[in-house]
A = this chain, B = another copy of it.
Amino acid sequence: MIEKNEKIIKNCAGTLGDFYADSEIFHSTDDGIHPSRDDIISILLDLRKIVFPGYFCGGEYNCAESYKTFAEKLLCDVCHRLSEQVKIAMRFENDGEYSEEQIDEKSDDVCRVLCSELPSIQQKLEKDVKATFNGDPAAKNTDEIIISYPGILAIFTYRIAHVFYKENVPLIPRIMTEYAHSRTGIDINAGAEIGENFVIDHGTGIVIGETTEIGNNVKLYQGVTLGALSTRKGQELSGVKRHPTICDNVTIYSGSTILGGKTVIGEGAIIGGNAFITQSVLPKTKVIVKPSEHIFKTDETNVEIGLWEI
């Protein structure tokens, strides 16, 4: 019996190996080294410790002064690991485009750009947290927002991943945003452009497409899609602006769908729940969706039909 199983396993492994080697898309590298999702996520979470040291660090730092020491030490380590992952990712996707020297240089550049942007990311996140608190009657304090709100994890991750997206680093931005998607149900493509004081409430099911532009003071509720009108053309549309533009001071309530690259939601507009919008909305407009007819049946009256009042 055991012998028979051994043979079956050996055969299975052989077939898998042959198909893998012959596949057009499956990757084989000579040294077996490939980008590590775990390492990339660990870089992301360490960056969160650096940005919010008083929330995710245990006893690793003691006061404002030693925070600097802590941040410097950990950032140094993060840059080292990041540089490794950038190199691995570039080699993995490199079709002879870049020399090893260029890859080295690029990985160095990426770390420098991250360091130059990190302070402004921290400042934006502080504003995101404040705006979240001010708009949420269920929030008891800003600390629980930083520690536990999915919106802040998704926004933090987006703001970091966006740096790598702009630098054209392969794989790493998507791995980061899909990690946040997995933990929060909020799917923000790293390519989106998002302003200050950005608020996400509840968040599950939100989709923000790659070419979306979002201004300042925008608030989104759960289940909002900022998507493309049609994706039938697939890869042909790569790089084309196909997701909407949301101007400053817009609120979009839960379950609403806004589609198309030419669709602009004007400054100060409020989009009610379950809207379905494929054309631009003027500034300061309030869009209310008249719900479908609701039919109320009771045992006594059997059927009573009436247009639902809003």
Q: List 18 A-B contacts (CB under 8 A).
A: A5-B112, A14-B72, A28-B54, A28-B63, A28-B64, A31-B62, A37-B147, A37-B148, A137-B238, A137-B240, A143-B170, A144-B174, A148-B171, A257-B273, A276-B289, A281-B296, A289-B292, A289-B294
Q: Is A3 an interface residue (CB 8 A)?
A: no
The residues in A between 128 and 142 inclusive whose CB is less than 8 angstroms from any CB of B are 129-130, 133-142
Pair B296/A237 contact, Cβ less than 8 Å: no
Partner of A254, one of B183, B227, B295: B227
Looking across the interface, which residue of chain B has its beta carbon closest to that of A273? B257
Which bucket holds chain A's interface residue count?
Answer: 35 or more
Pair A182/B181 contact, Cβ less than 8 Å: no
Pair A75/B137 contact, Cβ less than 8 Å: no
Pair B175/A147 contact, Cβ less than 8 Å: yes
Within the complex, the shortest CB–CB distance from A233 to chain B, in Å, comes to 7
The residues in A between 256 and 294 inclusive whose CB is less than 8 angstroms from any CB of B are 257, 273-279, 281-282, 284-294
Q: What residues of chain B lie closer than 8 Å to A296, measured between beta carbons?
A: 281-282, 285-287
Pair A61/B32 contact, Cβ less than 8 Å: yes
Q: What residues of chain B lie closer than 8 Å to A68, measured between beta carbons?
A: 13-14, 16-17
Pair A205/B207 contact, Cβ less than 8 Å: no
Going nearest first, the 9 A-B pairs with the smallest beta carbon separation are: A17-B68, A13-B72, A21-B64, A137-B237, A13-B71, A148-B178, A290-B293, A12-B115, A27-B54
**Also in contact, A75 and B12, with CB within 8 A (given A20-B64, A288-B294):** yes
A interface: dominant SS:
mixed
Q: Is A51 an interface residue (CB 8 A)?
A: yes
CA–CA, A4 and B292, complex, Å: 60
Within the complex, the shortest CB–CB distance from A133 to chain B, in Å, comes to 7
Q: What residues of chain B lie closer than 8 Å to A144, measured between beta carbons?
A: 170-171, 174-175
The residues in A between 113 and 168 inclusive whose CB is less than 8 angstroms from any CB of B are 115-116, 118-119, 122-123, 126, 129-130, 133-144, 147-150
Q: Is A249 an interface residue (CB 8 A)?
A: no
Q: Is A15 an interface residue (CB 8 A)?
A: yes
Pair B51/A16 contact, Cβ less than 8 Å: yes
- B-facing mask of A6-29, CB < 8 A → 1, else 0? 101111111111011101011111
Pair A28/B67 contact, Cβ less than 8 Å: yes
Q: What residues of chain B lie closer than 8 Å to A140, measured between beta carbons?
A: 93, 170-171, 174
